Amino acid sequence: MVTYTLRRLALTVPTVLGVVVVVWLLIHLMPGDPVEVMLGETAARADRDTLRAQLGLNRPLAEQFSTYITGLASGDLGTSIHSRRPVAAVVAERLPATIMLTLAALAVAIAIALPAGIISAVRRGGATDRIALTASLAGVAIPNFWLGPMLIILFSLRLGWLPVAGSGTPAHLVLPALTLGIGAAGILTRMTRAAVLETLGEDYIRTARAKGLGELRVIPRHALRNALSPILTLLGLQVGSLLAGSVITETIFAWPGIGRLIVDGIYTRDYPVVQGCVLVIAIGTVLVNLATDLTYAWVNPRVRYGDAGN
């Protein structure tokens, strides 16, 4: 298990470095000048040149990239061009809100998908199965930028049950979590159904039923337990999708997380902030996938044995 863990850790390093290089290039090569955003297009050329020199934006791109990588090696994410604050401090202020939203959305997805997937598998081909499959397909197909406003119109403007946007109370978390969680629930429902269906055809399930065990014991103790491996894998992947999806959702609901900070940084051409946010999301996704791999190997030891042979 130690060898398997070290091998997976080694594979995460080039992934994170690749993300750093690609994001840095995309941010610096996209149109727009942060100096013009800060001073305005009518500012004098001398003032713009002075500010550009103060921010280090007049240096060659290769030199700027070298400085950025050197700073990363020492844990320095740089300084915000717009607020002149350390990027690490700015990101640290917003990170808890994004983590809270991601966990809430994941809880919504699990609460919807596991019961729906299990019931759909047990009642395969029936009306319940068809309804669950149709609902899961709709959850996957509906984009967040449409679902979010629809939820606001229904639950905030018409029914008046929940606040439109912002943060501060648990009620503010409900609509963003639903917006993110419904899409993840659609994918997870279909995976749960497929995994449980596969285990229901195994010999040990027939043996358990032949012993007189009821469905309430057979399904959770035998079928679901042995179907957890692919479900856990998909859950890990969904965390990364939820972190990426938070960019749109946080903007719609004015949620003070990293996603909204990325959008603000793009508007102001604040390169270090955007790079820092994307780097944190990338590292978080990689670490979650690593934890998923290790959990999968722990649940199914054959995985690490097979990996060792490669």
The share of the chain scoring above pLDDT 70, in percent, equals: 88
Residue 306, pLDDT above cutoff 60: no
**CATH 1.10.3720.10 holds for 94-308:** yes
Band of residue 37 on the pLDDT scale cut at 50, 70, 90 = low
Where in the chain are the domains? 32-76, 94-308
| DSSP string for the chain | -HHHHHHHHHHHHHHHHHHHHHHHHHHHHSS--HHHHHH-TTS-HHHHHHHHHHHTTTS-HHHHHHHHHHHHHTT---B-TTT-SBHHHHHHHHHHHHHHHHHHHHHHHHHHHHHHHHHHHHTTTSHHHHHHHHHHHHHHHS-HHHHHHHHIIIIIIIS--S-SS--SSHHHHHHHHHHHHHHHHHHHHHHHHHHHHHHHTSHHHHHHHHTT--HHHHIIIIIIHHTHHHHHHHHHHHHHHHHHHHHHHHHHTT--SHHHHHHHHHHTT-HHHHHHHHHHHHHHHHHHHHHHHHHHHHH-THHHHHHHT-
pLDDT tens-digit readout, 209-237: 777 776 667 777 767 777 777 787 788 77
Comparing 62-76, 216-230, 259-273, which segment has the lowest mean pLDDT?
216-230
The pTM of this model reads 0.80
Average pLDDT rounded to a whole number, residues 49-73:
78
Comparing 10-19, 107-116, 174-183, which segment has the lowest mean pLDDT?
10-19
Residue 176, pLDDT above cutoff 90: yes
